[in-house]
Amino acid sequence: MKHNAGWLLAAIPLVVFLHLAGMLDAVSKGSSISGGFDWAPSLGLRFSWFLDGLSLTFALLISGIGTLIVIYAGGYLKGHPHQGRFFSFILLFMGAMLGLVVSDSFLMLFVYWELTSITSFLLIGFDHGREASRRAALQALLVTGIGGLSLLAGLLVIAQATGMSELSSLLGSGDALRNSPLYLAALLLVLGGAFTKSAQFPFHFWLPNAMEAPTPVSAYLHSATMVKAGVYLLMRLNPVMGDTAAWETILPVFGGATLAIGTLLAVRQTDLKLMLAYTTVASLGLLVMLTGLGSDKAIEAAALYLIAHSMFKGALFMVAGLIDHEAGTRDITCLRGLRKAMPITFAAAMLAALSMGGLPLFSGFLAKEQIYYALGSPEGWQAVLLVIAVCGNALMFAIGFAVALRPFLGDALRTPKAAHEGPISLWLGPAVLGALGLAAAVAAPITHRFLSSPAASAVAGSPIEVTISTIPHIGVPLLLSGLTVALGIAAYVRLDSLRGATAGVLQAIGWGPDRGFDQVLRGLLRLATGLTRIIHNGRLDIYMTVTFVAVAAALLLPMVLFGELPSMPDVPALRFYEWGVLAIAVIGVAAVVKARSRLTAIVSLGIQGFAVALLYMLFGAPDLSFTQFMVETLSVVILALVMTRLRLAPTDRRPHAQKLLDMAIAAACGTAFALLLLKVTQLPFDDRLSQFFNTYAKTIAHGRNVVNVIIVDFRGLDTLGEIAVVMVTGLAILALIRIRSKKADVHAPVRKEA
């Protein structure tokens, strides 16, 4: 069963895919599917889902490609001792990603968003014995985790601006968010989450480093699913956040920069996975750029490229892993002549490369043509975006064919392993995805009806019908496609020269975001170390001083600043025994202040506690008074015993300035608590809680003594916690005494017998 685990477990995403496929007809006709249930009704939180053309397309890609990836992983990790752990991680990630794209409530969206970060951390760091894997996993988690916090803040701002907490409601709100003064803040925060997740410049560095993960992870997370989560979010929010100057400036600028940087960095690489990883960065930039342009043609192009990219990039990643698995290396300079040894892999690679290169009869061609339809008549600075798109597509053409041709053509080179065709579990995935890239374009009307058009309509917020076909039409887009192919062929032929030139330029530049990430982490560690040395300096007296100053400030400042000081009450007419209790309290304070040793001061503190216990008794709370007597007695006895064993200085040797400061802090804390209690007693008494306890003490807890019922039943966990704290404190004191006693025994003089 272990050897067939991939085939068996692939049934899980396959069932999900088939279930989702059954919704295609309804969604293609403009319907949406929603549902959910109340999670925390008092807080207005719902666990809800929402499926339209965009989310259904993403869900089908996640589950469909996920089925092939699980099968592929079964062959790739065959015999691996931790294969079961890998499958649990990949299926957990798959569930998180599906939850993300079908989420309706903001809460669900954020929870699943963070789950994708956590599960990708586990997958990237799967080979945790290698330092590079651990670093890449930590880097991905930190970058996307910070972005997740930005997204959370953005969702909260959106909810504050619109009063809505579900995407389905938000998408029907028209210009409510765009017209809000909080729009720009919400936009920047949402972009922080989307740009980090989808590796937009300057956060692009984590995605190529994540190639330290096993190839099935790279093929799934970093080409078809996780890295497109940010793109999904931008597409989802386009109807309510798009069509503004900020949106149509920030997204195209950063998307275009990411496209250019990704392709240039891809040219530099010789590792097949890194070459594909940087082109993934470039493709994500292209999708963000198209989403930001916002025109109907741009949105159609984004929908088409989203589908095409998922298929050809997933296939090429699996081809790279298959070559590494069967030949023992991914270095393109060490690979030649594998076509005869791996014919099926070569065919699958060619199908994927033809789509990535945007050649006719493949889905990549439809996407590229539509991109040039969207950019074919540029105005002003959009001409720069057209140049970037043409050059970027040309370099991706060169990289795609470099991966698909160079390892297979020419005279065979000696490789670390004797190359041969892999098992069906390894070549099935790339073969199916490569063939689907062809079938999706040949059957373009069907693809548009069920996938492209519904997805584009959801992104635009209005019905859009995608009509582009595989038949080339004479015009500017076709001319730009021809220019792209010509430049791509030239770049492919001169790839080695371009690699050297690019490497030289990047080496001359030197510093980059990846190195900056390490510098930031080192800086944070140094800052943390310095602050720790200042704040946690090991002096208990400073800790106590800071704590009590903070308590006094927290109590006094709000009352003073907001005019909430209580009015001074009249002195009541007290009976002689009440005056006697007050006199006992005053005597206790004087005894503590005048005490010349710590032991005397501790004993004198008990006087204060006894005075409070007498007050409880006078006001009709004998059980509380008894508890107070017991606590004070035990506290004084225990502290006195401890003080006698710890051999502390018999007198207080603090300088007078320190004593005055401590007196001032103590007086401030005492005054603050007194004023707070006076203010509380002067407010109208709310007896709802008292009525609750009086009503339910007998019926629920079956007790007549309300105080005991509160302590034991209604707040029993609090009581348990208090007991635990006292027990732990007692154990710590006992440990200190025993350590002190052992040290004393060691240093005691040895008595000699006569």
Boundaries of every domain in the chain:
256-493
Query: Rounded to the nearest 5°, which phi and psi values hold at 146?
Result: -65, -40
Q: Interior CA angle at 19 toward 121 and 312, to 5°?
A: 55
Q: Note whether 162 and 176 are within 8 A (CB).
A: yes
Query: What is the percent of the chain where pLDDT is above 90?
Result: 49
- Residue 155 to residue 105: CA distance in whole angstroms: 10
Structure tokens at 508: 């001359």
Q: Which amino acid is at 575?
A: R
Instruction: Supply the pLDDT for residue 583.
Output: 86
* Distance of alpha carbon 609 from the chain centroid: 50
d(CA 251, CA 473): 30
The single residue listed with the structure tokens 């690489």 is 269
The torsion region of residue 335 among left (phi > 0), alpha (psi -120 to 50) and beta comes to beta
C-alpha to C-alpha distance for 169 and 178, rounded to whole angstroms: 15
Both tokens of 746, joined, read 């060691």
pLDDT digits (tens, 9 = 90+) for 512-521: 787 888 888 8
Per-residue H/E/C for 558-619: HHHHCCCCCCCCCCCCCCHHHHHHHHHHHHHHHHHHHCCCHHHHHHHHHHHHHHHHHHHHHC
pLDDT of amino acid 727: 86
Residues of the chain with pLDDT under 70: 1-3, 223-224, 378, 643-652, 739-754
Q: Which long-range contacts (CB under 8 A, 24 or more apart) does 453-456 make?
A: 453/28, 453/53, 454/27, 454/28, 454/30, 454/52, 454/53, 454/54, 454/56, 454/57, 455/53, 455/54, 455/57, 455/303, 455/306, 455/307, 456/53, 456/296, 456/299, 456/300, 456/302, 456/303
Q: What is the pTM of this model?
A: 0.79
Residue type present at position 740: R
Q: How far apart are CA 76 and CA 213, in angstroms?
A: 13
